[in-house]
Amino acid sequence: MEVKVQKKTKLRPVAVPPGVEPEDLVNTPVIQEAARVLREGGLVAFPTETVYGLGATGLDSEAVAGVFAAKGRPADNPLILHIAAVEDLQQIVPEVPPLARTLAQSFWPGPLTIVLPKGPVVPAITTGGLNTVAVRMPDHPVALALLAAAGVPVAAPSANISGRPSPTEAAHVMADLQGKVDIILDGGSTSVGVESTVVDCTGPVPVILRPGGVSREALEEVVGRVELDPHVQGGEEIHGPVRSPGMKYRHYAPEAPAVLIRGEPPELFRRLTALANELEAQGETIGLMVSRELLGYWREHGVDGSRWQVAVMGSRTNPSEIAANIYRCLRELDETDVTQIILEGISARGVGLAVMNRLQKAAANRIIDV
């Protein structure tokens, strides 16, 4: 095996005051430096509104190979190309069908990735050997400034070691990729917190290959019926071809084994608490990822959860808040000595579908329905 020289990773803070525009950042020394590194074939981690991305020039096979190597990512798991403007899509695909155009115009910049037949400029390594390519325009001033300054589409998967929870803070990127990337741009915590929704637009009806920051309901308001690939549901073994290679990998997983418990309060809270007690009696050290409402239930019922590591995801009534916190909570529990994690499930409506997809994967499909 080739011996890789450790890189000296530079952590560069970028101030992102409210209302700052990409144009305000594009000529700053830090963005110009990062863009230069990209153009020269280097690796730059940068914030987007979803999670931090690990970027390389997406049309240069060698640079893209560096992304796969740094993450330890399987070669057949394709990358998403990030662009600075809706019009840049034309440089990547031979044809933009009306459906894709409508979606791009409605949701870009934003957490929606569009899959289309690829043009010849896109190297096979970027698409994991597929004849389709995934493209999105992110909604983050640092990402857009970097993309504009680089002047090329940037291939950027999440900036974590393959299989680990995605990074929502620069410190998470440092923890996984220090010594493997050239620059990490620190733009604070990401706002959406889960990855983009990946939509296959190669057929007449759009198909969600991965739920994410844009809900199925929001898509349907704009384009009518949207299908959900059966692999997205999870929970049970599904046969048939995997249409999005990322689906077949264990993902977003904490170090300790996790179990996901689904249902409605108060029964959900009663059973979750009973499960924690039961596993503890078996000698496990318990970590919990729960809603604020569960803490209310404990207070009401005199449950003392102080011996457990508790990470609060947010309110069950606010799936966007929970989405913004799940990866940080998983990483927090990783830093403790817990041996068993229990994840509280929420409703799979709206962004809750993306949350539940990630929690199911984090639990490697160990699910209890109550």
Task: Give the residues lining the site for Mg ion (CB under 5 A).
Answer: 157-158
H or E element at residue 134:
strand 132-136
**Is the Cβ of residue 57 or residue 113 nearer to Mg ion in the bound state?**
113
The single residue listed with the structure tokens 């900036």 is 159
Q: Which of 134, 149, 219, 354 binds ligand AMP (CB under 6 A)?
A: 134
Burial class (CB in 10 A: 0-12, 13-18, 19+), 8: exposed
Cα separation, 226 vs 218, in Å, equals 10
Q: Which of 246, 287, 319, 352 binds ligand AMP (CB under 6 A)?
A: 246
Q: Is 168 a residue that touches ligand AMP (CB under 6 A)?
A: no
As measured in angstroms, the least distance from the Cβ of 73 to Mg ion is 8
Burial class (CB in 10 A: 0-12, 13-18, 19+), 170: buried
Q: Is 358 a residue that touches ligand AMP (CB under 6 A)?
A: no
Cα separation, 290 vs 1, in Å, equals 43
Judged by beta carbon distances under 5 to 8 A according to partner kind, the member of Mg ion, ligand AMP, none in contact with residue 273 is none
Angle of helix 170-177 relative to helix 319-334, nearest 10 degrees, comes to 40
Q: Euclidean distance between the first and final Cα of the chain, in Å?
A: 49
Cα separation, 325 vs 302, in Å, equals 27
Give exposure, 12-22, as e/b (b: 16+ Cβ within 10 Å): bebebeeeeeb
Q: Which of the stretches 77-85, 100-108, 138-146, 225-233 binds ligand AMP when contact is defined by CB under 6 A?
A: 77-85
Q: Is 80 a residue that touches ligand AMP (CB under 6 A)?
A: yes
Q: How many residues does the chain have?
A: 370
As measured in angstroms, the least distance from the Cβ of 164 to Mg ion is 9
As measured in angstroms, the least distance from the Cβ of 14 to ligand AMP is 21
Cα separation, 329 vs 137, in Å, equals 27
Judged by beta carbon distances under 5 to 8 A according to partner kind, the member of Mg ion, ligand AMP, none in contact with residue 309 is none
**Is the Cβ of residue 22 or residue 78 nearer to ligand AMP in the bound state?**
78
Q: Is 159 a residue that touches ligand AMP (CB under 6 A)?
A: no
Closest residue to Mg ion, based on beta-carbon distance: 158
Q: Is 78 a residue that touches ligand AMP (CB under 6 A)?
A: yes
Q: Which of 195, 229, 293, 344 binds ligand AMP (CB under 6 A)?
A: 195
Sign of the Cα pseudo-torsion (141, 144, 145, 146, in order): positive
As measured in angstroms, the least distance from the Cβ of 187 to Mg ion is 18
Sheet holding 340-344, edge to edge: 309-314, 286-291, 340-344, 258-262, 367-369
Q: Is 244 a residue that touches ligand AMP (CB under 6 A)?
A: yes
What value, to the nearest 5°, has the Cα angle with vertex 202 and ends 199 and 205?
70
Cα separation, 264 vs 95, in Å, equals 46
Judged by beta carbon distances under 5 to 8 A according to partner kind, the member of ligand AMP, Mg ion, none in contact with residue 133 is ligand AMP
**Is the Cβ of residue 157 or residue 352 nearer to ligand AMP in the bound state?**
157
Q: Which of the stretches 55-63, 74-82, 222-230, 293-301 binds ligand AMP when contact is defined by CB under 6 A?
A: 74-82
Q: Which of 77, 197, 320, 340 binds ligand AMP (CB under 6 A)?
A: 77
**Is the Cβ of residue 27 or residue 90 nearer to ligand AMP in the bound state?**
90
Footprint of ligand AMP (CB under 6 A):
77-80, 115, 127, 130, 132-134, 157-158, 195, 198, 209-210, 244-246
